[in-house]
Amino acid sequence: MTNVPLDRRTLLRAAGLTTGATLATIAAAGPAGSPAAAASSAFRHGVASGDPLPGGILLWTRVTPTEDAQPGSGAGPEVQVTWQVAADPDFTSITREGSLTTGPQRDHTVKVDIDGLAAGTTYWYRFGYAGGWSPVGRTMTAPAPDAAIDRVRMGVVSCSNWEAGYFAAYRHLAARGDLNLVLHLGDYLYEYGTGEFDAGGSVVRQVRPAHEVLTLADYRIRHALYKTDPDLQALHATVPWVITWDDHEVANDQWAGGAENHTPATEGAFAARLAAARQAYAEWMPVRLGASGSIYRRVRFGRLAELSMLDLRTYRSLQASGTAVDDPARTITGDDQMSWLKQGLVSSQAKWKLVGNPVMISRLDVGTLPAWLLGPLGKLLGIPANGFAVNTDQWDGYNADRDELVNHLRATGTKDVVFLTGDIHTSWANELVTRTTGSGNPAAAEFVVPSVTSDNINDFLGTSPGGALSVLAASIVRAANPHVKWTELDGHGFGVFDVTTQRCRMDWYHLADRTRANTTARWVAGWSVGTGSSKIRRESAPA
């Protein structure tokens, strides 16, 4: 995919702008000479693409045909929306085009699954309604499965809480111009009411609706709010996204039968809330769902890499503590997804096997010694087999599933596996070990990206970023967990993950101040893993 980086000059020419224009402005402008040089006001929520295939791509937008057709209103007429895919940003060479009907039954969203495109190719797309055009989006298809490509580069993000700050991380990624896709690992939005999960006790910008979202209308309105953010719109319009959900797309600490942040006595049946959240997600997100609504799936990038995206909410057992985290009857993946994951990793013909993993899989022990060295005393004290589990909402709460997966990788000799993880709001570079692998023999690498805006250690403690307490906490974590090679517990931002035939490298970038829309970002660390090895190494700043 090295032949499809963003050509800034071409995009600027297409938009009829000067070289000083921002990428957000580029995304909001139509091609020169088009029926609407500025985007039609009917397209207020931007455009997006996702889930690239060798011959296809999924395209998304939302149209507001009348003022009463507001998100979640259930009002407004059914209308015809046209779409075009072109080989050039001026749309002089139309590759595919068509139309479809949308209306209040789908909240006036538009999703088009395009096929018949060339593999590994950059395209431009737009939507039309009532003589006006949407913003122009740029996307690209995946290479053919047997294509000998030498690089894929992706932005990696997670946990974007509206009230905690601005989505400047998206702006910085959109401005890079060297990405093939964006990987979002969940918590794209948050369900809380205003002030319930903010920026260290301060609301930077208020959510809509102001109350906690429960109904279909609520979830539609919250999705719509997020897609008014200009930085989010710019990044969606620049490259395709590959997305999975975590818990906050429904409710905090969700499991198969409920959630910590759902009270049936006052909020009704969880099944009704789940159905509403999933319907709104299917309408508003550029993602392919299976016939049964499943989201776990694979995206292939030639012979270089295959990405398996996980769903760690829909099938998981209720969170537990104590020795229950070792119970083999409990699961985080569900049996079918675990079989799919193991089979896919072992049989993949791609050089690198990447896993989009919503919650951290690396074990996190806080005792001086892991519990398996304590022998019978460990059972007497009720210590889980992998040590004290700090966060049982992660894989730490489901040791049997983690052991099953890691033991399978080792038994089959499957190498070059890298987990890309979100959720924990902080930055980590880990080597994946269990009691059978030991800290000197990791089975895979794991790179964890920070939150875009959601609170982390210093926010919860009320201390300054990079303060002594956070530095001490990070050193204690590393001392108790030799497989954690690096962690930073305060920064918000994003990762840039670069895949070549010889190595996978993650670079972490942190924002100066998430509460400022124009905040800067700086590189803080880089770690890589080489082919044939799961041991990671520190890298210097990119040139």
Angle between helices 335-347 and 399-411 (to 10 degrees): 20
> What pLDDT was estimated at residue 36?
38
Q: Which one-letter DSSP state was computed for residue 38?
A: B
- Beta-carbon contacts of 387 under 8 Å, excluding residues fewer than 6 positions away, are 363, 364, 365, 366, 367, 370, 371
> What pLDDT was estimated at residue 474?
87
* pLDDT lower than 50: segments of the chain: 2-37, 377
> What pLDDT was estimated at residue 385?
72
Q: What is the DSSP string of 70-107?
A: -TTS--S--EEEEEEEESSTT-SSEEEEEEEEE-GGGT
Q: What is the DSSP string of 321-377?
A: -GGGGG-TT--SS-HHHHHHHHHHHHH--SSEEEEEESS--S----SSS-GGGSTHH
DSSP E strands in 384-456: the ranges are 417-421, 427-432, 444-448
471 is written with which tokens?
Answer: 């530095």
> What pLDDT was estimated at residue 176?
97
Entry pTM: 0.92
Whole-number Cα distances in Å, 402 to 120, 222, 331, 380, 410: 35, 34, 9, 23, 12
Distance CA 19, CA 36 (A): 21
Whole-number Cα distances in Å, 291 to 90, 176, 243, 369: 36, 36, 17, 46
Which CATH code fits 151-539? Answer: 3.60.21.70
474 is written with which tokens?
Answer: 């990070």
Q: What percent of the chain has pLDDT over 90?
A: 79
Q: For residue 318, which of 359, 260, 277 has the smallest C-alpha distance? A: 260
Distance CA 228, CA 45 (A): 5
Query: Is 466 exposed, middle or buried (CB count within 10 Å of its CB: 0-12, 13-18, 19+)?
Result: middle
> What pLDDT was estimated at residue 439?
65
Query: Could you tell me if 247 and 188 are in contact, meaning their C-beta atoms sit under 8 angstroms apart?
Result: no
8-140 homologous superfamily: Purple acid phosphatase-like, N-terminal (2.60.40.380)
- Beta-carbon contacts of 38 under 8 Å, excluding residues fewer than 6 positions away, are 28, 29, 30
Query: Could you tell me if 157 and 67 are in contact, meaning their C-beta atoms sit under 8 angstroms apart?
Result: no
Assess whether the previous peptide bond of 209 is cis (omega < 30° from 0): yes
Whole-number Cα distances in Å, 117 to 10, 55, 532: 21, 5, 34
- Cα torsion for 473, 478, 484, 488, to the nearest 10°? 30
Domain residue spans in the chain? Answer: 8-140, 151-539
